[in-house]
């Protein structure tokens, strides 16, 4: 991100004002090519940002067209934000959001590293290919499909309950999705299941750039494979691991909408409601537009600040950031 | 020494294979499970306990859903949006990427920032909904195409690719009097086919998998995509799971049992199959894409 935000400082030449028009005319086709994207950005990215003004008024949709009602609704300042922070929902929503993302991180962060290390050690190409192909697949399906699969696997006569009964861990079927206390763990494992294979690609790429002579030298010195991993592979992966961990921390408030919306239900609401689904429920379903917009604005502003901080940390550590 | 593996080495190998076999099973089995449930007789599936093989093998669930006009229309809408959306996006993204690959563009720094910023900040759910409504896109097919028209990350992939092309070809074309438009269409686009294929797959999968836009921006049944229908079926099933058996039976007697797992799994399979079919290509290109993203910095 940072590379793009302040890209190539100094390459820009100061252009005298009177030359701007001739240069623009010279580049008219370039601007023409950019035009559709510019219109898109203005309409679908920046206009909604302007629409965030909703959070500061008491938006009344009945007044007329959107912009008319927006600017004729009563200005209420930070009232909606205060309402959000002071009512009991705030703590529950924040708890759910953080619990969901933290528990997800607990599994989804180490798994790709383990997979990459293991795949790298396997000599059998066929086996390697099968495992890789299968482990990337869940990444490409939608959360709708994933939720359908998860619901089936976790149903009272689904495969997971059958497995638990087989090993006598439980004798009665566990109703996983009807009980809030399992919810964060289901989302965390679902996220991990979906992303672990795909995320391992990044680590495999980093491993493949390690100089093979290092391993040769280690073998000569009598290091076994376990020691090779410990003293060569892992130290070389450390920068990647650190950067990806820091960037993952940047998404700490971003508990995905899809998984919480699709897997949650009325019985698990107290655990499944996160910032995005809460905003959705109040806005789209209950029609409290301004309040929902304020909740949304709170989460995107805080998320943006976290991303900027995290990116700067990553930049300091690595000399440059990932994106 | 070389042929003589120590016991620890053997243990190490066994642990590795065991671990990766688990990963394989965990990622593969769920798909197998939904496949066999979808191929089992719908009424029989209510008895549960389907884990490895269909008990009463039949294609009946697939026949049922393909006879269902709702699914049929959903498939058409999804296919249409995937094709049109992908094509339009590829064109617009590559046009933007070409312009932004020219660092001498007037105000290049500001335009780049203008687009990259949208990756990190947005208006959020509610204002976006309001804007889309104000633009008259509710209940319009174009709501599937325009709001997601530009993927800035994909644009950066294409831009990086264009920047790595040898500049001489463009230079000589310019000397021959070609303008930027001609250079883009005749020279740059043909050279970009590999990267456009890559982002095309990203975009197509994104369109195929999208459900949210159809779910909240459209009300007409003829504009529901397959994934949105699947959300509806999932919701019905989730509500069904909370009902008593008697309630379920009463409900199932009245209409086709959507709460029947086999039907739900058959729809899930139909939604998954195209992904599995393009997957061999996707795997190759996606790995390339993620590497490009990583190498770029």
Show the domains of chain A with their CATH numbers: 2-77 (no CATH), 82-318 (1.10.3720.10)
Residue given tokens 């993927």 in the structure block: B151
In this prediction, residues A240-260 reach a mean pLDDT of: 88
Which residues from A are below 8 Å from B157, CB to CB? none
Asked if B160 and B122 touch (Cβ cutoff 8 Å), the reply is no
Sorting pLDDT into bands at 50, 70 and 90, what band is A196? very high
Q: How many CB atoms lie within 10 A of CB B31?
A: 18
Best A123, A144, A290 member to test B by mutation, with max B CBs in 10 Å, is A144
pLDDT one-digit tens code per residue, A33-75: 999 999 999 999 999 999 999 999 998 887 778 888 888 888 9
pLDDT, average across residues A231-256: 88
B19, part of any domain: no
For B134, B149, B204, the CA distances from B152, given in Å and listed in that order, are: 24, 10, 16
B209 lies in some domain: yes
A36 to chain B: closest CA residue: B92
Contacts of A138 in chain B (CB under 8 A): 27, 30
Q: How many CB atoms lie within 10 A of CB B32?
A: 14
Residue A58: enclosing H or E segment and its boundaries? Answer: strand A57-58
Mutate to test the interface with B, among A126, A148, A159 (most CBs of B within 10 A): A148
Lowest mean pLDDT of A169-173, A288-292, A314-318, name the range: A314-318
CA A279 to chain B, closest CA, distance in angstroms equals 8
CA distances to B50, B202, B266 from B241, rounded to whole Å, are: 18, 35, 19
Alpha-carbon distance A189 to A181, whole Å? 14
In a domain, B174, yes or no: yes
- CA distances for B17 relative to A306, B12, B14, angstroms: 39, 9, 5
Q: What is the ipTM of this complex?
A: 0.88
The reported pLDDT for the residue numbered B139 is 94
Q: In 3-state terms, what secondary structure has residue B57?
A: strand
How is residue B168 written in tokens? 């001489």
| Residue A292 · residue A283 · CB < 8 Å | yes
Who among B116, B125, B294 is closest to A296 (CB)? B125
C-alpha angle A13-A19-A25 in degrees, rounded to nearest 5: 105
Residue B217: inside a domain? yes
Which CATH number is B164's domain given?
Answer: 1.10.3720.10
How distant is the alpha carbon of residue A61 from its chain centre?
A: 32
pLDDT for the residue numbered B255: 47
Identify the CA nearest to A233 among candidates A263, A207, A259.
A207
Number of domains in chain B: 1
CB atoms within 10 A of CB A113: 19
Domain annotation covers residue B33: no
**Is B47 contained in some domain?**
no
Q: Which of A131, A289, A304 sits opposite B126 (nearest CB)?
A: A289
Calpha distance A36→B99 (Å, rounded): 12
**Chain B partners within 8 Å of A151 (Cβ):** 234, 237-238, 241
Residue B102 lies in domain: 65-296
Do residues A187 and A99 touch, judged by C-beta distance below 8 A?
no
Residue B18 within any structural domain of the chain:
no
> Which residues share a beta bridge with B40?
B57
Q: Which residues pair with B96 in a beta bridge?
A: none
Q: Which residue has the higher pLDDT, A69 or A150?
A: A150
Q: Residue count of chain B, please give it.
A: 297
- C-beta of residue A67 within 8 angstroms of C-beta of residue A53: no
DSSP B151: -
- A137:B113 CB<8 A: no
Q: What is the C-alpha separation between B231 and B211, in angstroms, rounded?
A: 8
> Taking CB atoms and an 8 Å limit, are A201 and B291 in contact across chains?
yes
Does the distance separating the beta carbons of B108 and A12 come in below 8 Å?
yes
Size of the A and B interface in Cβ pairs below 8 Å:
297
Q: So what's the pLDDT on residue B288?
A: 67
Q: Which of A147, A153, A257 sits opposite B33 (nearest CB)?
A: A153
- Determine the distance in angstroms separating the CA of A288 from the nearest CA of chain B, rounded to an integer: 10
Extract the residue ranges of chain B whose pLDDT is less than 70: 1-5, 240-259, 286-297
Q: Do A145 and B6 touch (CB under 8 A)?
A: no
Alpha carbons B84 and A62: distance in angstroms, whole number: 36
Sequence-distant (6+) residues with CB within 8 A of A61 are A69, A287, A289
Whether residue B88 is contained in a domain is answered as yes
Strands (DSSP E) contained in B51-101 are none
Cβ A144–B27 below 8 Å, yes or no? no
The shortest CB-CB distance from A48 to any of B24, B119, B123 is to B123
Q: Do B234 and A144 touch (CB under 8 A)?
A: yes
A99-118 pLDDT tens trace: 999 999 999 999 999 999 99
> CA–CA separation, A117 vs A122, rounded Å?
9
Q: Give the span between the Cα atoms of B217 and B129, in whole angstroms.
A: 8
- Who among B16, B125, B150 is closest to A122 (CB)? B16
CB nearest A52 (choices: B34, B127, B205): B127
CB A154 within 8 A of CB B244: no
């Amino acid at each position: 991100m940072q590379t793009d935000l302040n890209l190539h400082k100094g390459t820009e030449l100061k252009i005298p004002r009177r030359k701007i028009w001739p240069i623009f005319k010279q580049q008219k086709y370039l601007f023409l090519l950019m035009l559709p994207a510019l219109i898109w950005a203005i309409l679908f990215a920046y206009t909604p940002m302007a629409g965030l003004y909703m959070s500061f008024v008491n938006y009344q949709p009945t007044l007329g067209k959107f912009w008319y009602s927006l600017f004729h609704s009563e200005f209420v300042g930070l009232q909606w934000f205060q309402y959000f922070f002071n009512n009991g929902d705030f703590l529950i929503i924040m708890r759910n959001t953080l619990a969901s993302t933290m528990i997800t991180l607990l599994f989804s962060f180490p798994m790709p590293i383990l997979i990459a290390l293991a795949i790298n050690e396997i000599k059998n190409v066929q086996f390697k290919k099968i495992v890789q192909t299968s482990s990337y697949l869940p990444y490409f399906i939608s959360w709708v499909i994933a939720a359908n699969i998860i619901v089936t696997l976790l149903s009272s006569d689904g495969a997971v309950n059958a497995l638990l009964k087989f090993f006598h861990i439980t004798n009665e079927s566990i109703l996983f999705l009807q009980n809030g206390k399992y919810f964060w763990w289901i989302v965390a494992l679902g996220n991990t299941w979906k992303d672990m294979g795909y995320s391992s690609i990044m680590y495999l790429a980093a491993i493949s750039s390690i100089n093979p002579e290092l391993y040769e030298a280690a073998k000569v010195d009598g290091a076994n494979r376990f020691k090779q991993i410990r003293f060569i592979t892992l130290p070389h992966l450390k920068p990647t691991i650190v950067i990806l961990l820091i960037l993952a921390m940047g998404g700490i408030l971003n508990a995905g909408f899809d998984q919480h919306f699709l897997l949650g239900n009325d019985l698990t609401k107290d655990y499944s409601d996160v910032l995005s689904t809460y905003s959705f429920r109040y806005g789209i379903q209950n029609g409290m537009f301004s309040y929902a917009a304020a909740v949304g604005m709170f989460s995107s502003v805080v998320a943006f600040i976290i991303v900027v901080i995290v990116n700067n940390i990553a930049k300091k550590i690595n000399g440059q950031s990932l994106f | 020494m070389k042929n003589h593996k120590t016991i620890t080495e053997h243990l190490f190998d066994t642990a590795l294979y065991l671990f990766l076999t688990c990963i394989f099973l965990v990622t593969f089995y769920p798909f197998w499970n939904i496949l066999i449930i979808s191929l089992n007789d719908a009424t029989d599936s209510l008895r549960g306990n389907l884990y490895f093989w269909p008990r009463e093998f039949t294609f009946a669930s697939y026949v049922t859903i393909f006879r269902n006009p709702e699914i049929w229309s959903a498939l058409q809408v999804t296919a249409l949006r995937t094709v049109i959306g992908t094509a339009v996006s590829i064109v617009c993204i590559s046009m933007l990427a070409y312009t932004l690959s020219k660092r001498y563009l007037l105000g290049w720094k500001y335009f780049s920032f203008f687009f990259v910023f949208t990756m990190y900040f947005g208006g959020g759910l509610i204002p976006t909904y309001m804007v889309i409504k104000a633009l008259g896109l509710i209940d319009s097919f174009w709501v599937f195409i325009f709001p997601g028209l530009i993927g800035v990350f994909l644009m950066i992939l294409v831009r990086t690719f264009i920047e790595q092309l040898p500049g001489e070809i463009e230079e000589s074309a310019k000397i021959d009097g070609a303008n930027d438009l001609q250079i883009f269409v005749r020279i740059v686009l043909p050279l970009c086919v590999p990267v456009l294929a890559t982002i095309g797959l990203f975009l197509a999968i994104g369109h195929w998998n999208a459900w949210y836009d159809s779910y909240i921006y459209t009300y007409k049944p003829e504009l529901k995509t397959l994934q949105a229908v699947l959300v509806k079926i999932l919701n019905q099933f989730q509500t069904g799971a909370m009902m008593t058996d008697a309630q379920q039976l009463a409900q199932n007697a009245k209409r086709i049992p959507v709460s029947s797992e086999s039907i739900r799994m058959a729809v899930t399979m139909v939604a998954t199959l195209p992904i599995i079919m393009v997957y061999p290509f996707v795997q190759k290109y996606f790995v390339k894409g993620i590497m490009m993203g990583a190498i770029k910095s």
